[in-house]
Structure 1
Amino acid sequence: MKRTLVGLLASTAISFAAVTAASAANWFPVPVQVWEPAFDMDSPRRDFTYVPLDKASKPWEVCVSFPHMKDAYWLGVDYGVTEEAKRLGVKMQVVEAGGYTELNKQISQIEDCVSAGADAVIIGAISADGLNNLIQEIRSKDIPVIDVINGISSKEITAKSLVSFGEMGAKTGEYLAKLHPAGSGKAKVAWFPGPSGAGWVEAGNAGFAKAVEGSDIELVETKYGDTGKEVQAKLVEDTLEAHPDLAYVVGTAVTAEVAVPILRSRGLTDQIKVASYYFTPGVAQGLKRGQILAAPTDSTVLQGRIAVDIAVRALEGEPYEKHVGPALYVVHQGNLGEFDASSTLAPDGFKPVFRVD
């Protein structure tokens, strides 16, 4: 499956700065994986070719809730959901809570969306468990709820459009472990998985830690924090003070982005390398410039598009996959030219869209 996906993406080399309108419009068919039984990331997966509906039967009102819009990762998801809403011919309201500390605000925003008449709700959750009571209430009104990107523990959701962040973390860990197999000499790593308590962070942390077991990667520090640039920069700076003999800074895309100039300013670029466990334009630029080693892509834009299509399918009584996500692969300097950015990144210059009519 991995070879198939890489081959498909390799068919059209595309620059990071220019995601063309044509490639975005023709995003399907796309190879994905389906978890069965659904809602268990440990379930077996089968390969599936995803093709969305041509158009919705009516202009449904879809509410989309994000944790924040502070980095290009969620900008890519916003691009995916809003462009698919336009393509399908549905209305959409996008809200963002402002950060991973703002669970109550996310709950309030979703409640307001539902009160305003949302026919379906798509949630990028701040907390894996903290929205479960709200989801139960929404589902009692027969409103579909789609879990996108981050992961929600409720079994009452309608469907999931997401990948395994455990596997994302594992892929980055495996990449480093291959560079430093057992007996090759210890390489000290500081690891920044993201905000504590978020489902995707706990999964990513577990996947990374397991993947480096048995290698000469020495995990000397694990620091949690919001994915705002100021928070991550402070975590990196504090860690550099405590561990001057680091070999790697590894973590969120924001961590990788802020680490590059910090290391440069301290004259540590040659000593300390940088890797991420997901993909953003900043990571793409870092890869292009040789400043970041590698990052797996979870095809963020596609996850958003698929979530919207599933929501419309659920509303219209059409068949849908209950647990689906694009297959993962690692982007590095060796395969950079083959990477189709339209699967993952918003086009250059894209501004957040909060309303589609």
Structure 2
Amino acid sequence: MRIIWYLWLAFFCSGAAAESWRLQVPRIPFDYNSGYETVDYQPLDKAAKPWRLCIAYPHLKDAYWLSVNFGMVTEARRLGVSFKLVEAGGYPNLQRQIQQAESCVAEGADAFVVGTVSYNGLRSTVEHIAASIPVIAAVNDIADTGITAKVGVSWTDMGAAAARIIAERHPKGSPPVKVAWFPGPQEAGWVKFVEQGFQNALAGSSAMIVATKYGDTGREIQVRLVEEALDEVADLDYIAGSAPTAEAAVSVLRARSLQDQVQIVSDYMTHAVYRGVLRNRIIATPTDLPVLQGRLAIEVAVRAIEKKLQYSHLGPQIQIFDQQSSDPNMLDLSLAPAAFAPVFELRTPQ
């Protein structure tokens, strides 16, 4: 199995230099409300030097960040740069991420790529690091201060895309349905955005949020929260929330023989969500193409080091995956190969 993903990685790297990526660029950098321009983005062929990057993730608890990691490994190998990766172990661990970032950068880095655990909590840390090297925000949104560039999609739009999966099935005036909503950890920077988008898009339908459960995106926590919601609302129609929520809900509903009564929507895609959609256990999910985001974050970091930035804010176009989806590129740019294991340190060949 390990050989298979190495071959997959070699395929990506061999063809990547000639490809272009279809991306969205906010008209005003760092402002998702400014509207978008769509561009065909041509990545660099190679880095000018074997730069060293420091990368920080909020966690590797679910396969979403594993897919981001695969994208970063792919692009770092293609460009010829190295990195060290640290992960905080979850969104409650702000101080751990701050300490990890400071230590990683102090070991020597030409750029810092951060998937933050908190929208505002790293502000002073980022300012300090940005005084000497570029700082690239990857996937999760973060306060603008000190940030050189951002790679990501609007989590307001991701929340809205998930809500529309339900809203389109239950337009205003149709019989009401009850939704239990699991936004994620309340302290995480992206949660307030995904929640705003979800609530706004659901407002024009007959669907009602009857329970809201916040919690870290670990599976055990989400299982407990799903069970709480089912205990509190006997006639629930939908469970909607993060990928670990959806994954947990599949098991809990099956254990309670409720899989034909309660339907599931995920607000982002992982391998388990993908399988759930194929097996008709999860209706659909938006995907923000995490593999592509990982690749793009590395490419943008190299551009920032070499002062070749074309755009200071850009990301993929959100797509919906359901049983009718037929674009193989969507899966390639969303999911790491099944045999891929996380890479915490990548060194360039000497």
- Does the TM-score normalized on the shorter chain lie above 0.5? yes
Matches within 5 A, 1:1-357: 20-21=8-9, 24-25=12-13, 26-27=15-16, 28-141=19-132, 143-336=133-326, 338=328, 340-357=330-347
TM-score, scaled to structure 2: 0.94
Tell me, in whole angstroms, the C-alpha distance in 2 between the residues paired with 1:319 and 1:199: 25
**Normalised by the size of structure 1, how large is the TM-score?**
0.92
**Conserved? CA contact 2:167–2:206, under 8 Å:** yes
Task: Give the drift of 1:340.
Answer: 3.1
Q: Deviations over 1:246-269 (max 9, x none)?
A: 000000001001100110110101
CA deviation vs aligned residue, 1:207-257 (integer Å, no higher than 9, x gap): 000001021001001111000000111000011000010000000001001
Report the RMSD for the aligned CA atoms in angstroms.
1.5
Cα distance in 1 between the residues matched to 2:84 and 2:27: 31
How many residues were matched structurally? 340
Is this contact kept in 2: 1:30–1:51, CA < 8 A?
Answer: yes
Shift of 1:33: 0.3
In structure 2, distance between residues paired with 1:274 and 1:20 = 31
Higher RCO by CA contacts (8 Å cutoff, separation 6 or greater)? 1
Instruction: Give the 4+ runs in structure 1 shifted more than 4 A.
Output: 336-339
- 1:166-194 C-alpha deviation (Å, 9 max, x unpaired): 10110111121110011110110000011
Listed as ranges, the gaps of 5+ residues in structure 1 are 1-16
Question: Which residue identity does 1:135 align to in structure 2?
Answer: V
CA distances 1:144-172 after superposition (whole Å, capped 9, x unpaired): 00001111012320000000111011011
Query: Any gaps of 5 or more consecutive residues in structure 2?
Result: none
CA contact (8 A) 1:18 1:348 kept: no
Is contact 2:119–2:188 with CA below 8 Å preserved after alignment?
yes
Q: 1:270-294 CA distances to partner (integer Å, 9 max, x unpaired)? A: 1000010101000100011110000
Letter in 1 for 2:181: W
Alpha carbons of structure 1 residues 22 and 35: separation in structure 2 relative to 1, 3 Å: same
C-alpha displacement of 1:84: 0.9
CA distance in 2, matches of 1:250, 1:208: 10
CA contact 2:9–2:74 (8 Å) conserved in 1: no
Shift of 1:23: 5.7
Distance verdict in 2 for CA 1:23–1:216, change over 3 Å = farther
**Closer/same/farther in 2, CA of residues 259 and 336 from structure 1, 3 Å limit:** farther
Deviations 1:21-63 (A, max 9, x none): 4663335311000012101111121011122111111111101
Distance 1:104 1:311 in 2: 24
The residue type paired with residue 24 of structure 1 is F
